[in-house]
Structure 1
Amino acid sequence: PEFVAHAVNDWCRFNGTGSLFIDPGSPWQNAWIESFNGRLRDELLNSWRFDSLLEAQVLIEDWRIDYNANRPHSAHHGLTPTEFALQWTTTHQPQAA
């Protein structure tokens, strides 16, 4: 991670931009990623003992697909992300001229 951080820092400097940092011990500054990390840890990483790298990759990918498409989301009034996207697309179609 340190090497990536240096590369990102160099890129920002080269492109005349900056980055924002989360203060250590301040998870409330980025609640979304903290929530995601907690779910990943509780629902998958703390529950499984992977016997191989391949098994870990398959189970994590299955969890990622389920997390991104099938889990109900309170911000979407209990709809899954897939249901929300379908509903949004149907209600936001351009009007025929």
Structure 2
Amino acid sequence: FISKKLAKWCEKKQIEQKFIQPGKPMQNGFNERLNRTYREDVLNAYFFDSLEQLRILSDKWLDTYNSKHPHRSMKGLTPNQKRLLLTEDAMKKEELIANNL
């Protein structure tokens, strides 16, 4: 499944899309693991009366996942902590380049 809207958005932002082979989820392990965690923690854990309830729980889950869930692949950091480090590193590199260091 490839969304035409997503494809247009990526093209506009000059983002190259890459796709896995059909029936080869092991080529996309990180996303498959995230999908499994979300399914276990949210979709399979609750009954929903509305999409709004699902959205609210999903937002709470995502906030917790990004701010309180350390990842081995990030050396025990949460995604928010890792993003902050990467942002700081990028800013330092830009400063060095701007100052010709």
Shorter-normalised TM-score: what interval?
0.5 to 0.7
Give the C-alpha shift of residue 83 in structure 1: 3.8
Q: 2:82 and 2:21 mapped to 1: Cα distance?
A: 34
Which residue among 43, 63, 66 is the counterpart of 2:64?
Answer: 66
Ranges of 4+ aligned residues in structure 1 off by more than 3 Å: 17-20, 82-86, 91-95
Deviations 1:63-93 (A, max 9, x none): 111112221110222222334455x37x858
Per the normalisation by structure 2, the TM-score is 0.64
Q: 1:74 and 1:7 mapped to 2: Cα distance?
A: 30
Q: 2:74 and 2:23 mapped to 1: Cα distance?
A: 30
Query: Gapped runs of 5+ residues in structure 2?
Result: 96-101
Partner of 1:33: 31
Q: How many residues align?
A: 88
Q: Does 1:80 align with 2:72?
A: no
Q: Percent same amino acid among aligned pairs?
A: 31
Which residue among 50, 54, 57 is the counterpart of 1:52?
Answer: 50
Larger radius of gyration: 1
CA RMSD of aligned residues (A): 3.5
Q: 2:17 and 2:52 mapped to 1: Cα distance?
A: 35
Per the normalisation by structure 1, the TM-score is 0.66
Partner-residue secondary structure (3-state), 2:48: coil
